[in-house]
Amino acid sequence: MKYPCPIINDLLPLYADGVCSEESRQAVMEHLKDCACCRKEYEKMEQYAAQNKKYDFAQAKSTAFISTDSLIKVRRELLIKRILTAAVAVLLVIGLTAGAGIFLKNNVHSVVYNPDSQNIRVVQEPDGDIIARLYGTEWESVYSRTIELEDGQNAVIFSMTSSSWDDLMIGDNTASEYLIAGNGKDVGQIEQVYFLSQPVNELSYDQLTQLFANHPEQFTLLWEKQ
Ligand SMILES: [Zn+2]
């Protein structure tokens, strides 16, 4: 034998792929004729290559089996799915927004006086009307009650409710006005106006006067007759 088996073994892959030089090809061919061992190695290699090819072919075939029609169908299904997803998302957003709006609208609470921002102010207009102004939130309801103080003077106690929606939507520089006392006769009897950060309407007259006597710190004096 012209060449030792290890050299032929090294050449076998090139030979099998048909990429070796003509000289090498001749040498391998001659060697394979006489050497059963290397021939066996070569056959194994061929078998393996054939199997791989078969595998590749099967892969190619399975891809080829997806016809254009079914591809279009798949694409259409994807498009419909995408449109449905978008529609559901839009509906969900609308639903959530409406739901959140209704929830916030219904979430009514007492307006609390903030001494820093003085969100509630009471002023007397030139025409004599006593006006309460609420800044930064729209009121839902205003409750007021006139009580007689120990010294016989009259005071108006008022409270306001607002919704969470208004807290969110109404800017701080927006003011809503509420008439505490109109026409001269009413105004003339009022000496003081207090704000209470809890619903006045939920207290009876007696409860209110008792609260005023026992916890004056809960009442904020916002206006006093000059
Ligand atoms: Zn050999």
The answer to whether residue 14 scores a pLDDT higher than 70 is yes
Question: What does the pLDDT look like over 65-104, one tens digit per residue?
Answer: 555 666 667 777 778 778 888 888 899 999 988 888 888 8
In the prediction, which pLDDT does 182 show? 80
Predicted confidence at residue 163, as pLDDT, reads 85
Distance CA 183, CA 124 (A): 12
Give the model's pLDDT for residue 69: 64
Q: Which of 94, 106, 96, 97 is nearest to 164 (CA)?
A: 106
User: Is residue 105's pLDDT more than 60?
Assistant: yes
| 192 neighbors 220 (Cβ within 8 angstroms) | no
CA of 51 to the centre of ligand 1 (A): 24
Q: Are 121 and 109 in contact (CB under 8 A)?
A: no
When pLDDT is cut at 50, 70 and 90, the band that residue 39 belongs to is very high
Instruction: Say which range, 67-71, 122-126, 206-210, has the weakest mean pLDDT.
Output: 67-71
CA angle 126, 127, 129 (to 5 degrees): 100
Residue 221 has pLDDT above 80, yes or no: yes
Question: How far apart are the CA of 21 and the centre of ligand 1, in A?
Answer: 19
Q: What is the mean pLDDT of residues 212-220?
A: 93
Residues 176-199, mean pLDDT to the nearest whole number = 84
> Whole-model pTM above 0.75?
no
**Which residues is 147 bridged to in the sheet?**
155
Whether pLDDT at 207 is above 80: yes
Q: 212 near 151, Cβ under 8 Å?
A: no
Beta bridge partners of 154: 148, 190
Cβ distance 131 to 122 under 8 Å?
yes
Q: What is the amino acid identity at position 76?
A: R
Q: How far is the CA of 114 from the centre of ligand 1 (A)?
A: 100
What is the 8 CA–ligand 1 centroid distance (Å)?
A: 7
Whether the CB-CB separation of 4 and 34 falls below 8 Å is answered with: no
Q: Which residues contact 16 (CB under 8 A, 6 or more apart)?
A: 42, 45, 46, 49
Question: Which one is predicted more confidently, 217 or 75?
Answer: 217
Examine the pLDDT at 122 and tell me if it is beyond 90: yes
- Spell out the residues 6+ positions from residue 183 whose beta carbon is closer than 8 angstroms to its own: 128
In terms of pLDDT, which residue wins out, 190 or 80? 190
What's the 6 CA to ligand 1 centre distance in angstroms? 7
Q: Is the pLDDT of residue 125 over 70?
A: yes
CA distances from 63 to 60, 68, 195 (A): 5, 11, 79
- What mean pLDDT do residues 34-45 have? 90
Domain range summary for the chain, segments of one domain joined by + = 5-64, 67-106, 109-224
| Amino acid found at 192 | Q
